[in-house]
């Protein structure tokens, strides 16, 4: 989900992680769907990348 938005905005994982004050590795896990961000981080991402941050909490896929 976030990967497409990241590329559209011409930002690297490092750029975004630095802007929202998380590690690049943690942002990568969010981008890949391995982690769900906190509400605060989701809001920061939504503001930075101009999308509705609640999308992170609408659908949850569980890995088995």
Q: How far apart are CA 59 and CA 64, in angstroms?
A: 16
Each residue's pLDDT tens digit, 44-64: 999 999 999 998 888 765 454
Round the CA-based radius of gyration of the chain to a whole number and report it.
11
Q: Show the tokens assigned to 32.
A: 């890949």
Q: What is the largest CA-CA distance in the chain?
A: 33
Q: Where are the domains of the chain?
A: 2-58
Alpha helices in the chain (DSSP H): 2-8, 13-20, 24-32, 39-49, 55-58
Look at residue 4 and tell me whether its pLDDT is greater than 80. no
The CATH T-level fold of domain 2-58 is 434 Repressor (Amino-terminal Domain) (1.10.260)
pTM value is: 0.78
């Amino acid at each position: 989900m976030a990967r497409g938005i990241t590329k559209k905005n011409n930002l690297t994982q490092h750029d975004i992680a630095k802007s929202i004050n998380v590690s690049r590795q943690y942002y990568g896990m969010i981008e890949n769907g391995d982690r769900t961000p906190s509400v605060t981080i989701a809001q920061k991402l939504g503001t930075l990348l101009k999308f509705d941050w609640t999308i992170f909490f609408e659908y949850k896929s569980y890995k088995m």
